């Protein structure tokens, strides 16, 4: 046997031993073949990566490493974080990081790689040199070239496949934009960001406060639901002095159902009584009517007039007065009696 042939045999045996030892983490230098696209485009399928044992070279963030969770199961990914003895890796083409591993499981740091189009022709030439001559004298001399051609074609086909394209799944999302109450307190509006959905109908809508519940009419207007508020709800809030309502909705969507429960805070200023010139104003910005007793006295003429008025919700009552008269207004609000007086 020629010395060159012996050297080729020894080289082949050494490569096989290094490959085998690499998969068991027993060699100071590793040789691995990339099988997937998780590190594409830096590492393409079919290329051979060369690694150095981490107990020799160490590793840090952004290094490409080889780690193994179980015997023979190796992953070649990039380090994205190291905390204490925990390492997190991620494939460059993968959308999410890998599960954390202990630093002791990271066996090799990748220092170089040989593309498929370089090492495969070289390996083919070596194999042809080793086995070609003896087989030429055999009637089966055509078998080694056919095996090499099949091997070459298979790996070349694997390495030439297009990388998988990441698929972004757009999941419809419904978000609450806000809750609003109309100026006259008659309607609560629930506004959504539908994000690919549409509301078909309202299955039920319920308002509740303390121990009270009211089933209400609800109307859909695009991405909004308008709910009618009964007057009894405001009486209950004034009685408890807690200006809060809970809205419970069940919506039929074109792609499913939505059940929602929302807290709506309802606030308003108290009634206001004042004079402007010769006119008495009683403003009621609340959602309920208030009753007021008005006494108008004219000392000069010796006349006294008493009036009982109802000021509707979110409205203003006015009364024209003569100059020099005295006026007294009595009304109840939130369970308390208020008295206001002045002279025109």
For the chain, the domains span: 3-160, 175-265, 272-343
* Measured distance CA(220)–CA(225) in Å, rounded: 5
pLDDT tens digits, one per residue of 37-65: 888 888 888 888 888 888 888 899 999 99
Which two structure tokens, joined as six digits, stand for 97?
A: 């990081």
According to DSSP H, which parts of the chain are helical?
3-23, 54-57, 116-136, 143-160, 231-240
Does the structure show a pLDDT above 50 at 161? Answer: no
Q: 7 and 123 in contact (C-beta within 8 Å)?
A: no
* Per-residue pLDDT, 17: 63
Does the structure show a pLDDT above 70 at 308? Answer: yes
Reported confidence tier of residue 320, pLDDT bands at 50, 70, 90: very high
* Measured distance CA(52)–CA(40) in Å, rounded: 21
Q: 115 and 156 in contact (C-beta within 8 Å)?
A: no
CATH class of 3-160: mainly beta
Lowest mean pLDDT among 84-93, 106-115, 138-147: 138-147
Does the structure show a pLDDT above 60 at 326? Answer: yes
Is 175-265 in CATH node 3.55.40.20? Answer: no
Is 272-343 in CATH node 3.40.50.300? Answer: no
* Measured distance CA(205)–CA(7) in Å, rounded: 86
Q: 295 and 328 in contact (C-beta within 8 Å)?
A: yes
More confident residue, 190 or 139: 190
Lowest mean pLDDT among 3-12, 114-123, 230-239, 291-300: 3-12
Q: Tell me the percentage of the chain whose pLDDT exceeds 70.
A: 77
- Whether 175-265 and 3-160 are alike in CATH topology: the answer is no
* Per-residue pLDDT, 23: 59
* Per-residue pLDDT, 57: 85
Reported confidence tier of residue 27, pLDDT bands at 50, 70, 90: confident
């Amino acid at each position: 046997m020629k010395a060159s042939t012996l050297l080729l045999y020894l080289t082949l045996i050494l490569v096989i031993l290094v490959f085998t030892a690499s998969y068991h983490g027993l060699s100071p230098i590793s040789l691995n073949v990339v099988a997937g696209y998780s590190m594409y485009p830096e590492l393409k399928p079919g290329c051979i990566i060369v690694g150095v044992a981490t107990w020799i070279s160490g590793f840090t963030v952004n290094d490409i490493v080889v780690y193994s969770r179980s015997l023979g199961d190796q992953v070649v990914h990039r380090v994205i974080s190291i905390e204490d003895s925990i390492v997190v890796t991620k494939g460059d083409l993968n959308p999410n990081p890998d599960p954390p591993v202990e630093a002791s499981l990271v066996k090799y740091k990748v220092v170089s790689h040989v593309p498929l189009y370089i090492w495969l022709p070289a390996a083919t030439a070596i194999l042809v040199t080793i086995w070609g001559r003896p087989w030429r004298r055999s009637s089966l001399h055509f078998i080694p070239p056919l095996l090499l051609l099949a091997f070459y074609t298979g790996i070349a086909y694997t390495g030439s496949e297009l990388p998988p394209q990441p698929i972004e799944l757009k999941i419809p999302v419904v978000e609450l934009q806000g809750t609003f109450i109309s100026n006259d307190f008659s309607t609560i509006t629930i506004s959504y960001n539908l994000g690919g959905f549409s509301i078909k109908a309202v299955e039920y809508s319920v308002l509740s406060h303390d121990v009270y519940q009211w089933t209400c009419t609800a109307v859909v207007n695009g991405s909004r639901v308008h709910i009618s508020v009964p007057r009894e709800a405001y009486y209950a809030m004034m009685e408890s002095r807690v200006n809060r309502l809970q809205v419970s909705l069940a919506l039929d969507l074109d792609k499913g159902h939505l059940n929602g429960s929302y807290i709506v805070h309802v606030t308003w200023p108290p009634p206001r009584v004042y004079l402007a010139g010769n006119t008495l104003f009683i403003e009621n910005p609340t959602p309920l009517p208030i009753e007021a007793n008005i006494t108008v006295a004219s000392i000069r003429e010796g006349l006294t007039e008493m009036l009982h008025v109802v000021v509707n919700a979110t409205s203003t009552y006015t009364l024209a007065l003569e100059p020099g008269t005295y006026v007294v207004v009595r009304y109840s609000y939130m369970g308390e009696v208020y008295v206001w007086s002045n002279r025109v």
